[in-house]
Structures are given as structure tokens and as C-alpha cells.
Chains A and B, each alone.
Chain A
Amino acid sequence: MNEKALIDDEHFEHTLRCEHAEIISPENIVYEKPGTLLDVDMHYCPGCGHGVVHRILAEVIDEMGIQSDVIGVAPVGCSVLAYNYLNIDFSEAAHGRASAAATGIKRVLPEKYVFSYQGDGDLAAIGTGETIHTCNRGENILILFINNGIYGMTGGQMAPTTLPGMKSTTSPFGRDVATMGNPLKITELVALLPGTYYVTRQSVHKPNNVRKTKKAIQKAFELQKDNKGTCFIEIVSNCPSNWKMTPIESNHWLEENMLPYYPLGDIKLPNGRN
């Protein structure tokens, strides 16, 4: 540790000791754990985007004061245990079937806010049918789609969204589109359907992107009240463990490789603008 760092540390300690009571007063608090986020350790790998998305989702629910009116559905994949972290009523669903389960919930409880929280294997592979038809029916739910281009939970196999040339345990020499097909831009696909109301692609790899994603989630929940169709938010995310990178490297890689293929921004807006 260099001398400057030591001084900074001492200064920090001093601040904590002397000014703790003064700083941690209710009017000074600008950042704390959202009430909707349970006080438990998450199982997600260090640097993974799920933790950030959970947090902003919880913040939106808190800020909108809708904790008692939200029901979530999380399917098979890394986020299968999302219900352990979010203090709202929650249903797990079979692999790929989250939007069907969410449809069932929303149809019998139309006054509730219902969302599904799905990964790319779940939403864009095994659950493609359910995803397309839920969007095509225009179910008044929010579909949160976390796209990290790989199967995380099962240890890094190829996903429909894996990039050309990208290595995975089942495309060890890189995805060859000639034999393995092309990455599926399912978000653009669902945006074409008349049932979708608001379709956007965001990320959480940088603070300003986190803020934009949070705004998108809030907007989607607000739009759900209008009963006009499905809101679909893709969040391009990272998987440091299976990409075999540090969290920082993975965020750089995401920006350099994922974003050119999955460009950020609104794809379909409620007023019909693209």
C-alpha cells in the first residue's frame, strides 16, 4: 500500500469515527437497500448483471409503492432463485414457460402488475413459442429478458444469442453460423408483433446505462396500467464466469462485441415511434 492510500484510509477511518452519527442521519441518506430487496446474500457470480437488475427492479417497485401489487415469475436458469431476493409474491416456472405462467396469473388477477424475468436460453430457445405468442396476444405483462449470450446456470453452453465466433462449451471452436445458426435477435422479432407496446434494449454495464434501464422498467410498469400490450425489455448483460473474464474485462467485452450486434435503445415506443 502506498503512502497516499494509507493517508486516505486514515482519513476515512477518522471520518467514520467522528462524523458517523452526523452523516448517517435520515435526511442525508441518498442510497440504501430497497425494502423490496431481501437482506440475503445472492448466489450470483461476482460482476454478474443479475444483482444490478434485481436491485433496480426492487428500487422501482419501492418508488412506485407497488410491492403488494406485483407478482413475478422466474423460470429455470441463473435467475431461478430470484424469489429468494425479491420480497414480492413469486412463482417459479418450468424452463421457457414463464410467459405462459405469467399469462395465467395476469388473466385471473388483471389488476396486479405481473412480470417475468427470463434469460436467453429460457426466452429465446426452449420458450420461443411461449414468448412469441404471449407478445402476439399482447398480454399486459412486463417481460424482462436478460441476454448474456450464453447458458450460465448449466456452465456456459451455446445460447441462441451466442455471437458468431464466440466460444462456449458446446461451440468450443467458436459459433459457426453455417452449422449452428445465427444469433437470434428475438427482441427485434417481438417488436414486429402488434401485441407489443413498448420494446427496448438496455444494459447495466455502466452507471448511466443502469439509470436508463431503471427508467425503462419504471416506464414499463406504468404502461402496464394502460392495458395496451406487452412491454419487453432486453438487458444485454455479462457472464464473467462463463465468458472466463474478470468482471471489468467482461464489461469491456460486452461493449466491444455484444453491443454492436445487440444495439442499445428503444425499438418500439408506445406512441408508435421507432
Chain B
Amino acid sequence: MKDLQLMKGNEALAEAAIRAGCDAYFGYPITPQSEVLEYLSREAENRTGMVVLQAESEIASINMVYGAAGTGKKVMTSSSSPGMSLMQEGISYIACAELPCLLVNVNRGGPGLGTIQPGQSDYFQSVKGGGHGDYRLIVLAPATVQEMADFVKLGFELAFQYRNPVLILTDGALGQMMEKVDLFPQQERKFEILDWALTGKVKERNHNIITSLNLKAEEMEIINIHLQKKYKEIEKNEIRYEAIDCDDADYLIVAYGLVARICTKAAHLAREKGIKVGVLRPISLFPYPYEIINKLSDQVKSILDVEMSAGQMVEDVRLAVNGKIPVKFYGRMGGVVPGPEEILKAIEEKLVGGAA
């Protein structure tokens, strides 16, 4: 297969999983991400020997991931919003047991069964926890089909570096749209025996146990302290963002994923009208780029947060700004994608008009 392709986001992601040397994928079909399982079902096993299994439910999928990730192999799953809700139990266990794995949420409009159109209303669930207990995922938000592919490789690297689940938080539009993608070369499937993994107890070491249980409160607290320390380390090292036309900006838009691209168009339209707007796109949603937003809030007059939700990330923008300047919100819900014109209108009404 050629490296330069015109591909759907979901297919680019699936192809990237094969090329990243992924060992196993466990999943369950749900729109708008079923192409991931479909693509892998026809492409993966013959090419690399990667295991692809359609589970009976998302609950089973994530627990298959949990089992397989415990062996130290490269394991992934993908789903969309209602399916991700079903996986939250398993994700909490995986986070506590510190298992590396890659999760993908092709977010659609909710709540409930919702729509099959794109949404960003799983931000809280993805970034703030989702399952029970104090834990964090490393969350990456692609904005292009290219990033859908690239973040698979990056996601696996981060997952193994920190022994932490990594979530690619994308949406139905990015999953379904076709774009040019330059694919990284096929990597070998290598099985490195990791000292903590379930590979069969050999004489040279004690038996390995994968568990999230510790019945003694004081010992469970020690595990929690260790996890929090790891999250601090991740916050120190893994913040990623893209700053577009921010240097001379008077106003700032903060948006992630596909919406950030639409906002960039809106910012161009604003500049044509003489309003200097920049766009800050958080790429890592955990860890969150608080510092750069805080820094930019010394420069710009006000900030507009745009999301396909009722306003979830806006809480993090407000934390970053810490009350220094007004933070306004514009959002569409239930699967509606905002257009550049309406975002321009929001800039004019909420930022320029509002700040005056």
C-alpha cells in the first residue's frame, strides 16, 4: 500500500494501527466508527498477524483489552459515545492497573442514544474521569485525517512510556471525512517482555499480578499517590497545542478537533474585516495547555471558546484565564456542526461587541 492515500479518518486510524505494529484490536460496531473494525477485519491479520476480534459488547471489548494489555502487548479498541459509556468500568480498572493501551472515541451527539452526527460532548467523560475513582487518561484530539493516523503511533508510544491508557478523542465528522494522509511506514510487531506483564511466571522472577484491588485504605492511598505523581509528570512533559495567528491577536478562540479548523476559517474571515483573531487549539486535552492560554490572556482582550457541546472545555479555559479577561462560549449541540459564518457572528457579538 502506498504511503500517500486519500482515506476516511476511521480507515486512516485503522491503517495506522496496523502500521504501528498493534498486536490486537477488540471492538464492537457502532456508528460513526464501524469502519475501524471493518477495515481491520479485512486488512490486519493477513498483513501482520494482528488479532482482530468482534466482541459481543463494548463491556466485553474493553475487558478483552484489559486482559490482553496485561500481557504487555500493543492493544486497542475504538467506539463511539454510548459505547464509550459502557467501557468506563473497564477503563477505570485499566487506569488503576496501569496498563498501556489505546482507546478511540469517535464522539457523536448525545446524551443517550443521541445522533450519529459528530459531537464534542464527551469532553468531561474523556478528560475528567468518566469511570469511578481518581484517574486520568492521556487524551489526544486530532483535527485532521493525518492526525487520526499519526496519533495512533504517538498514542501507543505515550501509553507504554507512562503505562497509562491513551484516548484519541475525535468525532464523527473526522471519522467519516476523506482527506489526504501521508502514512508512516509499517513497523514490525515486536514483543518485548516487560517485567510487570503476564507472560507466565518464570523462575527468575516472582509471579506478576495485574490488579486494581487493595483492601487496605492506607495502601490504596499509596497507589493513588503514585498515580497522581505520574499524572503530574505527564502534565509536565506532554502538553501539546497548536497556536494559529496568535502572535498579533487581539482576540482568541480556543477550540479543539475539527471545530478548531472551522474556527480558523472564521478567524480568517474576521481578519478580512480587520478583527485580529487567533486560534489556540489544544491537542492534548489531558494534560491541558493551561499555561499558554493564561499567557495569551495577558495579550488578548477576550476569549471565545467554541465547542460542539453545551460548554465543557470552556471550564478549563476559564481555569486557565483565572478571571483576567472575559471568556465567552459559543456551542452547537446534538450533532450540529457550527459553520464559519456563525462563529464569525459569535466573534463579533460576544467578543468585539461584548468586550467593548
Contact = CB atoms under 8 A, between A and B. Distances in A.
A129 B86 CA distance: 14
A34 to B, nearest CB: 14
A83 B207 CA distance: 9
A73 B97 CA distance: 14
A83 B23 CA distance: 26
B304 interface: no
B201 A104 contact: no
Contact of A91 (B24, B61, B67): B67
Contacts of A92: 97, 209-213
Interface string B14-27: 00000000011010
Interface string B59-70: 111011111111
Contact of A90 (B57, B93, B198, B203): B198
A192 interface: no
Given A108-B24, A109-B71, A103 B64 contact: yes
A93 interface: yes
Interface stretch (B48-56, B102-110, B225-233, B289-297): B48-56
Nearest to A97: B63
A69 B64 contact: no
Q: A67, A73, A86, A92: which has the most chain B beta carbons within 10 Å?
A: A92
Contacts of B56: 129-130, 133
B200 interface: yes
Contact of B73 (A67, A81, A108): A108
Measured as residues with beta carbon below 8 angstroms from the partner, the interface class of chain A is 20 to 34
Q: A83, A91, A133: which has the most chain B beta carbons within 10 Å?
A: A91
B75 interface: yes
Contact of A104 (B26, B199, B207, B209): B26
B199 A93 contact: no
B213 A89 contact: no
A66 to B, nearest CB: 9
B133 to A, nearest CB: 12
A78 interface: no
B198 A129 contact: no
Interface string B109-137: 00000000000000000000000000000
A81 B212 CA distance: 11
Given A89-B207, A94-B90, A129-B60, A103 B200 contact: no
A112 B200 CA distance: 8
B89 interface: yes
Contact of A129 (B57, B66, B208): B57
Nearest to A109: B71
B66 A93 contact: yes
Contact of B60 (A69, A73, A100): A100
Interface of A: 67-71, 73, 80-81, 83, 86-94, 97, 100-105, 107-109, 112, 129-130, 133
29 contacts: A68-B201, A68-B203, A70-B200, A87-B201, A87-B207, A88-B200, A89-B199, A90-B198, A90-B210, A90-B211, A91-B211, A92-B210, A97-B63, A100-B55, A100-B59, A100-B63, A101-B70, A103-B53, A104-B24, A104-B26, A104-B70, A104-B75, A105-B67, A107-B53, A107-B68, A108-B23, A108-B75, A130-B60, A133-B56
